[in-house]
Amino acid sequence: MSRIKIVAGNWKMNNDATQSSDLLNALKAKKLTVSADKKVIIAPPFIYLKEAVDTLKDVNGFAVAAQNCHHENSGAFTGEVSATMLKSIGCEYVILGHSERREYNHESDALLAKKVDTALAAGLKVIFCCGEALEIREANTQNDFISNQIEKGIFHLSAEQLQHVVIAYEPIWAIGTGKTASAAQAQDMHTNIRQHLAHKYGADSADKMTILYGGSCNAQNASELFSQKDIDGGLIGGASLKADDFATIINAR
C-alpha cells in the first residue's frame, strides 16, 4: 500500500494576524523532515491563506488548505470565496463537509456534493469530512450513517476524480471535547469506509485512499491512532494551534 499520509491542521476561526504569522513562522523554523510519502497541510482562515502559501512555499512537504469554498465559481454572492480564487493564490486543498459547517451553516449533502464538484473542477483537492453525532454512535448505527454521508457527498465522482479526494472521519462527539475515539473505534470505522469505497470503486482505488481521523487527536494519542492499519493521518483542530504539539503530531507514526 502506498497511501499518502497526511497531517492537516484546521485552525477554524482562531488566531489574529500576529498569532497567525507567529504560528506559521514557528512551524517553518522547526525545519521538520517530511518524508516523500507524507504531507502536512495547514488550513487557516481565508484572510491568512495567502500569507500561509507564501511562508510555506519552500517548506518541503507542506501545503495549504482553505476551510470552505462556495459551490458556484463566481457571481453575486456577497461575502463568499470561490474555489478558483483559492487555487489562484496557491491553495492546494479545501476542507468540505466539516460537521461545524453542516450544523451551523446548514450545509446539506446535496450542497456538499456540488461544492466537491466545483472544487475539483477548479483544480483543488478535497478533504471531505464525515462524522456521526453521539446519538447515532449510541444507537450503533454509525457505519450506515457514515456510508450514507460518503455516498451522498462523493459517490457521483469517477475513480479518476476520487484520487483527488481525502476522507476525514471525525465523530462529532470527539471534536473539541477531549474525548477521542479509541484507536479500535477509529480503525473499525476506517475499515468500514474503505470497504464501502471498495464496493463502489474496487479494492485498488479504495486501497489508495487516504483516510484521516479527527476529533481530539493530540500530541499524546496521535501515534497510537496513526499506527492503525487504515488510519492514514489526522485532521487536527485544537492541537494544531500550538507549534510544538503540532510538530509532535506530524512526527507521530
Residues classed as catalytic: 98, 170
Binding to ligand PGA (CB under 6 A): which residues in 7-26? Answer: 10
Three cell numbers written together for 213? 481521523
Residue length of the chain: 253
Q: What minimum distance in Å lies between the beta carbon of 239 and ligand PGA?
A: 6
**Which whole-number Å values give the CA distances from 108 to 15, 131, 153, 166, in the listed order?**
28, 14, 9, 19
Minimum CB separation of residue 91 from ligand PGA in Å reads 18
The CA distance from 122 to 132, in Å, is 29
Number of residue whose CB is nearest ligand PGA: 237
Output 75 or 178, the one with its CB closest to ligand PGA: 178
Eight-state DSSP code of residue 238: G
CB of 54 to ligand PGA, least distance (A): 24
Residues between 65 and 104 with contacts to ligand PGA, criterion CB under 6 A: none
- In this chain, which of 85, 212, 237, 246 binds ligand PGA, going by CB under 6 A? 237
> Taking CB under 6 A as the rule, which mask of x and - marks residues 143-172 in contact with ligand PGA?
---------------------------x--
The residue (of 102 and 196) whose beta carbon lies closer to ligand PGA is 102
- Tally the C-alpha atoms within 13 A of residue 161's C-alpha that lie toward its C-beta: 17
By the rule CB under 6 A, 175 interacts with ligand PGA: yes
Rounded to whole angstroms, how far apart are CA atoms 141 and 143? 6
Give helix 142-154 / helix 183-201 axis angle, nearest 10°. Answer: 40
Euclidean distance between CA atoms 193 and 199, whole angstroms: 10
Contact call for residue 232 and ligand PGA (CB under 6 A): no
Q: Which is nearer to ligand PGA, 97 or 215 (CB)?
A: 215
At residue 227, what are phi and psi to the nearest 5 degrees?
Answer: -85, -5
- Does residue 225 contact residue 213 with C-beta atoms inside 8 Å? yes
| Window of 81-89, 148-156, 187-195, 237-245 that interacts with ligand PGA by CB under 6 A | 237-245
- To ligand PGA, the closest distance from the beta carbon of 12 in angstroms equals 7
Name which of 98 and 201 has its Cβ closer to ligand PGA.
Answer: 98
Which amino acid is present at 80? E
> How many C-beta neighbours within 10 Å does residue 73 have?
15
Identify residues 208-227 at the interface with ligand PGA (CB under 6 A).
214-217
User: CA-to-CA distance for 3 and 231, rounded, in angstroms?
Assistant: 10
176 binds ligand PGA (CB under 6 A): yes
Task: Give the residue among 87, 165, 70 at the shortest CA–CA distance from 122.
Answer: 87
Task: Enumerate binding residues for ligand PGA (CB under 6 A).
Answer: 10, 170, 175-176, 214-217, 235-239
